[in-house]
Structure 1
Amino acid sequence: MKKILVLFLFSVGCSLYAQQFSADMKKTDIMKVCDAVAKWQINHQKEVKHHPLDWTNGALYRGMTEWGKVSGNETCYDFVREIGEKYNWNMWDRVYHADDICVGQAFIEMYRKLGDKRMLQPVMERAYYVATHPSKAPLLKTDAVGTLERWSWADALFMAPPVYAALYTMTGDDVYLNYMNSEYKECVDSLYDEEYSLFYRDNKRIPMREKNGAKQFWGRGNGWVFAGLPLIIDNLPIDCDSRNYYIQLFVKMAEAVRKTQCEGGDWRTSLLDPDSYDMPENSCSAFMCYGIAWGLRNEYLAKRTYKPVLEKGWKSLVKAVHTDGKLGYIQPVGAAPKAAGRDATDVYGVGAFLLAGSELYKLIK
């Protein structure tokens, strides 16, 4: 009797983790899983502890607007619009902080869809002020002012630059482009490792080493940079000279991303010491899949080399989606490698997943 009970409980446990969604590279399958992930997050958003204008949610909203645009799922747009209206389409509080303009990416997309200037004005005013009054603090995370006012950490290269790229294209005002290029390149010069084509999270991490002696390249930190590059490039005109700089950096990073993928298709929270964190980190993995899918679709990456990487990566991501649409294995807010289990989720990981699904959906013929 006891043995039967154990077997029953085991079967129940297995059914809870049964994979409901297919990872086949078909539009119907991609739509099913992305709609489920988006719906789960929208239904559970009231449980999120982050401020609605925080960067965490900014990444979510960007994924929602992209998936809404690609799939026609108006619920995603409605979700972002309700939040924008509630906060009058404002940015968050810190004027110079890259995190606090991140929501502007989604609000710009809302403006592009609906043409309501109220959606654009606050982000334009914030970005214009910063670009015309640049901070003179050192671009160092260890500087008391530079840590807040400069793009002094890798994540910042996702949060703010796509806003400036979009506003340059929309207005034709060089002030946005010049500021973005200057700030971005200084951050690259500070944190990019030429040998590995990866980024340190910030200058405090440069001397750090993992348990296996490898340099500390944080998975999500590099995911932020890798995913931010397509958002910048897509927002720049084809004839813009600056595009080449970002494209070249993207291609270099893509090879490092390919090399650090694990056998199971995932990426770990520490890119050069995966064995110390023996589980996926899916905010990183989703950002990597998004970038690779974008690179394939735009023919910056060789299909023969990178298509298998994408297929394995997407399969690993879909495997982590619970039957109710919850996405697991997402590391909590942090600045360095740390493991996260199957039940760990957060909004930026969902945004990354929706970006990946959107780009994969566009890639499939």
Structure 2
Amino acid sequence: MKKTLLLGISLLCATFIMATEIPFQKAEIKSIMRKVADWQIANPHPAPEHDDLNWPQGALYVGMVDWAELAEKEDGDDTYYKWLTHIGRRNCWQPDKRFYHADDIAVSQSFLDLYRKYKDEAMIIPTLARAEWIVNHPSEGSFKLIEGDLKTLERWTWCDALFMAPPVYAKLYMLTGEKKYIKFMNREYKATYDYLFDKEENLFYRDWRYFDKREANGKKVFWGRGNGWVLGGLVEILKELPKKDKNRQFYEELFVKLATRVAGLQHPDGFWHASLLDPTSYPSPETSCTTFIVYSIAYGINEGLLDKATYLPVMVKGWNALVSAVEPNGKLGYVQQIGADPKKVTRDMTEVYGVGAFLMAGNEIYKMAR
């Protein structure tokens, strides 16, 4: 009886160890990150959607900053910091043109990170000026987004915006100590949450136009990358706010709730698909949502917000799927193109925001790799 009990305990312990042990080597994580980063730099996407200051580039730069830090720390390679700094300098560190639009301040995330490293005031002043004006003159625009009506894009009326703008205000709060930035972020973020978060499904609608739409299987329309944008943005906010900061609790609780829900929607192939609740209609893998989700789950494990035994297998399966979508030359495939809802995806499709999120994910996984 005692031998049987001891055997059972041993098997249980062995299973737990296997479930909490990451099977990746640091060298292999770093190698695939370098390959993906180098391919993207060598193969820039054309304008106009990919001007230096546009939001797809902004998402790419967030991942490139993570990779630049890792490459310099581990290999003494400052190539990627130089690439990022060159982009900032040739644009005088300005955010993009549309003053209130969340997309057009996304590049400021990386500019502020570079300021944090180099302490060059030129890197922060344009973003400070933009944010200061917006905080002092907040928009009262409608949350009913209407294509072509720029007034309805002045607030965070689409879920992607929660990645683009809020982390900028969180960074400014931490860099300056000015509470007006976090107060503005809290007010606007919670207004978007109240409007777009479905409390029954624990998922975000992309915007109000999807409230009454249904997928082919009758389920509500919840876009994979849209919810990935939100999770990624939450990680960027949580990275900024100290553990004891009174502003942190709402974002931490929302992160756990959304990450838990999304983790349960992983497809057997390891990917998440363009439609979270109707993957059959969109059977192809979709890496831009998968990258953001894997990034978020890895962060949650590293920070103790998500149970390692439960979520590590999800993360490992997701990362293996992502690596399988990388071509030998470093091109990341299966990235849904620019849009606002689930669409068909093919392996030859790529986009810079997918690459950015891939590098974010790789950076978090590297921290726990052997």
TM-score, reference length from structure 2: 0.90
Question: Structure 1 stretch 292-301 or stretch 122-131: which is displaced more?
Answer: 122-131
Residue equivalent to 1:10:
none
Q: Does 1:117 align with 2:121?
A: yes
CA distance in 1, matches of 2:23, 2:330: 17
CA distance in 2, matches of 1:344, 1:145: 29
- Cα deviation digits, residues 122-159 of structure 1 (max 9, x gap): 11111111111100112221393542200000000000
Conserved? CA contact 1:58–1:103, under 8 Å: yes
1:106 counterpart (103, 106, 110): 110
2:320 counterpart (311, 315, 323): 315
Residue equivalent to 2:172:
167
Residue equivalent to 2:236:
231
- Cα deviation digits, residues 88-140 of structure 1 (max 9, x gap): 01000011000000000000111111111111111111111111110011222
2:163 counterpart (138, 158, 165): 158
- Cα deviation digits, residues 289-320 of structure 1 (max 9, x gap): 00000000000000111000000000000000
CA distance in 2, matches of 1:350, 1:299: 26
Q: Does 1:221 align with 2:226?
A: yes
CA distance in 1, matches of 2:152, 2:364: 33
Conserved? CA contact 1:68–1:77, under 8 Å: yes
1:133 counterpart (121, 134, 137): 137
1:85 counterpart (83, 89, 95): 89
CA distance in 2, matches of 1:344, 1:46: 12
CA distance in 2, matches of 1:308, 1:71: 27
CA distance in 2, matches of 1:85, 1:204: 39
Residue equivalent to 1:149:
154
Residue equivalent to 2:40:
41
CA distance in 1, matches of 2:71, 2:369: 13
Alpha-carbon RMSD across the aligned residues, in angstroms, is 1.4
Alpha-carbon distance, 1:237 to partner: 2.8
Alpha-carbon distance, 1:74 to partner: 2.1
Q: Secondary structure of the equivalent of 1:42?
A: helix
CA distance in 2, matches of 1:334, 1:254: 23
State the one-letter code of the partner of 2:342: P
CA distance in 2, matches of 1:161, 1:36: 30
With over 3 angstroms needed to count, the CA separation of the structure-2 counterparts of 1:188 and 1:74, relative to structure 1, is same
Residue equivalent to 1:31:
30
CA distance in 1, matches of 2:47, 2:356: 14
Percent identical pairs in the alignment equals: 48
Q: Secondary structure of the equivalent of 2:298?
A: helix
State the one-letter code of the partner of 1:30: I
State the one-letter code of the partner of 1:153: W
Q: How does 1:238-257 map to 2 (within 5 A)?
A: 238-257=243-262
CA distance in 2, matches of 1:139, 1:236: 27
Conserved? CA contact 1:135–1:149, under 8 Å: yes
TM-score, reference length from structure 1: 0.92
Q: Secondary structure of the equivalent of 1:345?
A: coil
Q: Secondary structure of the equivalent of 1:45?
A: coil
CA distance in 2, matches of 1:102, 1:75: 22
- Cα deviation digits, residues 307-356 of structure 1 (max 9, x gap): 00000000000000000000000011000100111110010110010000
Aligned residues: 343
Conserved? CA contact 1:59–1:102, under 8 Å: yes
Alpha-carbon distance, 1:24 to partner: 5.0
With over 3 angstroms needed to count, the CA separation of the structure-2 counterparts of 1:210 and 1:281, relative to structure 1, is same
Alpha-carbon distance, 1:77 to partner: 1.4
State the one-letter code of the partner of 1:265: G
